[in-house]
Chains A and B, each alone.
Chain A
Amino acid sequence: MDVFKILEAKENSKLFLLGNEAAVRGALESGVSVVSTYPGTPSSEIGNVFSKIAKAAHVYFEFSANEKVAVEVSAAAAASGLRSFAFMKHVGLNVAADSFMSIAYLGVNAGMVILTADDPSMYSSQNEQDNRIYARLANVPLIEPSSPQEVKEFMKYAFDISEQFHLPVLFRTTTRVSHMRGVVETGELVPPKERGFFKKEPNKYVPVPQNSRRMHKELIEKMNKLALLVNESPLNKVFDFGDEIGVIASGGAFNYVMDVVKEYNLPVKILKLGFSHPFPEKLVLDFLSKVQKVVIVEEVEPVMEKEVLAIVGKYGLNNKIYGKLSGTMPRIYEYTPDIVKNSLFKVLDKEIEAKEVLKPESAIPSRPPVLCPGCPHRATYYAVKDAIKELGLKDVIFPSDIGCYTLGIQKPYETADFLLSMGASIGTACGFAHATNQKVVAFIGDSTFFHAGLSALANAVHNKAKAVIVIMDNRTTAMTGRQPSLSEPVNGIGEEAPELSISDIAKAFGVKFVETVDPYNLHKTKEVFKRALRYDGLAVVITKHPCALITDAEKRKRNFWITFRINQDKCTRCMVCITDFACPSFFVAEDGSVHIDPLICDGCGVCTQVCPYNAIEVRK
């Protein structure tokens, strides 16, 4: 779909939108003026769409250096009277948390929505933390949509509530909502305010202790008012299919409940909570008076379950509450229709018919995600391993970071030994350097370096960590879909922008060994790594080559694409290309001969430097 449809579609059009695309339309129908983010799946497509349409929509949009900066940009806009929208993946809110907590105290002057895209079952994340808990920690309102249509509608509601109560609103989606496509009926676009004005009120905006104490009290008062309103909110609804048992559900989990209840005609009363913090006590109390047994269906933590149990305890009710804590629902991972069905059947005392599931018997090959053909990271990893081998080094530790290069964990590279979070490769490299006698080689991408690597590098210099820091500058934020990084001469809306030199930064920090090399030149790269590994101190090696997806797009545009083949007369089937280089375009035929699939070959030619027999040549 042409993303401009999201902006251009007239009122009452029906679009087939991703939850993430619906978030964009919802923000535009709310008159949003300032939008900021750091890319992270499952939230990335929101930024990808804004990046294309922001100019036409007269919205200020930026890919910020990290999520903390993103919420700060939006908070300042909201303080200046402009509606603002910051969004990120769930772990991004950890990075933003310091400022996020304060924004709750300070409050906002115009609507501000912070979207957190949680990732139950960890499709593309290091954990499945449930950010509904952040709404409780910061004490801000929480909205949980279940479908793209609701993402759009609830967004408008979130902006209104935010503005009315002068509080930032946390908007929680999950992967199944962010990446679900559904029918979205459009509403009217509201033109953004172009410029705001910041009225100086230091007592309101500077949380020094004497102000913070008052601010916390004000925050509680605002939330107390919302705790009444939430009982009447149209986002919280009862769906009545009977009264044998009750279900309280939110977000994507609600969808499974609805489908199961309808498909099996279950006598269930459902309370759907779209506005779930402050928790609607009166509404739930009323619900509990109608059904004795209540199942709580929520992903991932037993957040609402504990709220309901607290109400049961507070009022001395005799309702039976089923959920994660009772062992009725699975404790972790995302739910499925079958999980919900089996749990509801159990509570309803209905027999679960055993399903006969067909299972494949033939072996099925595994298809783990791989570094693309032509990926410069493959070349970097190959050269590092070669250098280590030539120097005869043992037990080298490879702290890794968040990006495509984390795939270095796989065979044959095995260049990811320790990973915490964005930027942590450099911080942990410092720790390993001080704690062991092993050589340390840390890998970090350009975008991740600007996100959270800068202060760690400063730390490495100042605290004299002896390590090799490899900054893999592929000129983009590759894994999330190639959003511009701060090291590129272009910004989030495609305009020219100052290109930050990683090499100059490292030198300015006082790193004495700084080398930049094109990893496509394997020999030169290996030699640089050998010198870095011998260097007694902190060495920074920048391996600089554009992401293969960027160069592929250029080649496609120019209609110039060469591929390589293996000269079978020269090939000795030594298998180095397969076992050590492992480019996905190589395959072994049934007769044992090695070939390159021309449909997959990217034409980078790096493999020609790997083959000891010069058997790889340009396909004519």
Chain B
Amino acid sequence: MSVYKIHLTGVGGQGTIKTSTIIGEAAIKRGLNVVMSEVHGMAQRGGVVTTDLKIGDAHSPLIENGDADLVIGFEPAETLRSLPKVSEKTFVITNSARIVPFTVGLGLSEYPPVEQIISELEAKVKHLFVINAEELANKAGNIMSLNMVLLGAATAIPRFPIGKDEIIQSIKENLPPKTIEVNLKAFELGFKEVSG
């Protein structure tokens, strides 16, 4: 099969790396090769966290501009920042709930209204899914399950190369047992957002 490329972006603490690992381990269950890049160290705290995942016959873990098959944005401004990865073929899932960095309070940068970000994404992205993942995570029982809402949505995307069962199995193996119920509920809510 050709290489399927997923770019995840979010803010430190939102669970982007965990989500990527869950997808990667699920790919292995399906017998696929997978490579992934992670950001560690000084860049973590409150900073932008991105990961690239390539599923299939790939050696390097980096995704070039315009080359992503799927972009999962955990925060609207971060989805917009990753716009260069997007082209006509790309499916984009974005959370619409924002995290305002302290630089805005200090007057060092500005955060545009979410509506403006979403309308720019709508104008430029052919296959866009906007989800209030924060609201759905709260509905599932815990804001911390926000990443599972987005993973659920991703799993429902056409051409997503891994089955729902494999993803669910990987979630069970990667998250603390007492959180599984809430996380799977969040996953289903996200899945339904895309599958309808």
Contacts and interface: CB of A to CB of B under 8 A. Distances in A.
B62 A176 contact: yes
Interface string A303-346: 00000000000000000000000000000000011100000000
A355 B66 contact: yes
Contacts of B41: 41-42, 44, 123-124, 479-480
Interface in B24-46: 24-25, 28, 33-46
A357 interface: yes
Given A182-B36, A369-B43, A338 B65 contact: yes
Nearest to B20: A181
A356 B83 CA distance: 12
Contact of B33 (A18, A180, A183): A183
B19 interface: no
B35 A369 contact: no
B80 interface: yes
| A-B pairs, 4 with minimum CB distance | A124-B41, A255-B60, A41-B41, A255-B59
7 contacts: A16-B34, A42-B41, A176-B61, A360-B80, A371-B45, A411-B108, A582-B102
B65 A599 contact: no
A368 B43 CA distance: 8
B92 to A, nearest CB: 11
Given A182-B34, A359-B84, A366-B109, A584 B64 contact: no
Nearest to A260: B60
Interface stretch (B116-124, B147-155, B158-166): B116-124
Contacts of B34: 16, 181-183
Interface in A241-270: 252, 254-256, 258-259, 262
Interface in B1-58: 11, 20-21, 24-25, 28, 33-48, 57-58
B105 A588 contact: yes
B36 A367 contact: no
A582 B106 contact: yes
A446 interface: no
A144 interface: no
Interface string B124-143: 10000000000000000001
Interface in A364-423: 364-372, 411-412
Interface residues of B, number: 56
A283 B187 CA distance: 53
B3 to A, nearest CB: 8
B70 interface: no
A365 B111 contact: yes
A480 B42 CA distance: 8
B1 to A, nearest CB: 13
A174 to B, nearest CB: 12
A583 interface: yes
B102 A356 contact: no
Interface centre among B36, B42, B117 (most CB of A within 10 A): B42
Contacts of B105: 578, 582, 586-588
B102 A16 contact: no
B21 A181 contact: yes
Nearest to B87: A358
A359 B66 CA distance: 11
Interface centre among B21, B57, B87, B106 (most CB of A within 10 A): B106
A360 B77 CA distance: 10
A358 B120 CA distance: 11
A252 B43 contact: no
Contacts of B28: 14, 16, 183
Contacts of B40: 41-42, 44-45, 123-124, 179
Contact of A362 (B36, B80, B87, B108): B80
Contact of A358 (B36, B58, B124): B124
Given A255-B59, A579-B106, A369 B64 contact: no
Given A357-B65, A369-B42, A587-B104, 18 more contacts: A16-B21, A16-B24, A16-B25, A16-B34, A123-B40, A176-B60, A181-B36, A182-B61, A183-B33, A252-B60, A254-B59, A256-B62, A355-B65, A358-B83, A359-B83, A364-B80, A367-B101, A372-B46
Interface string A550-561: 000000000000
Contacts of A123: 39-43
A286 interface: no
Contacts of B111: 363, 365
B110 interface: yes
B81 interface: yes
A360 B83 contact: yes
Given A123-B41, A357-B66, A411 B60 contact: no
Contacts of B65: 338, 355, 357
A43 to B, nearest CB: 10
A1 interface: yes
A15 to B, nearest CB: 8
Given A124-B41, A147-B35, A360-B81, A256 B60 contact: yes
Contacts of A349: none
Number of contact residues on A: which range applies? 35 or more
A340 to B, nearest CB: 9
Nearest to A339: B64
B165 to A, nearest CB: 18
Contacts of A262: 57
Given A179-B37, A365-B109, A337 B42 contact: no
A363 B43 contact: no
Contacts of A584: 46, 101-102
A368 B105 CA distance: 13
A415 to B, nearest CB: 16
A252 B35 CA distance: 12
Contact of A578 (B46, B62, B106): B106
A363 B25 contact: no
Nearest to A403: B42
Contact of A180 (B37, B64, B83, B100): B37
Contacts of A363: 109-112
Contacts of B104: 365, 587-588
B174 interface: yes
B183 to A, nearest CB: 16
A361 interface: yes
A259 B25 CA distance: 22
B86 interface: yes
Contacts of A587: 100, 102, 104-105
A146 interface: yes
Contacts of A588: 104-105
B122 to A, nearest CB: 12
Given A183-B33, A579-B106, A336 B101 contact: no
Contact of A367 (B11, B42, B60): B11
Contact of A364 (B11, B38, B77): B77
A88 to B, nearest CB: 14
Interface string A157-197: 00000000000000000001001111100000000000000
Contacts of B83: 358-360
Contacts of A359: 83-84
B21 A364 contact: no
A1 B47 CA distance: 23
Interface string A124-159: 100000000000000000000011000000000000
Interface in A551-596: 578-579, 582-584, 586-588
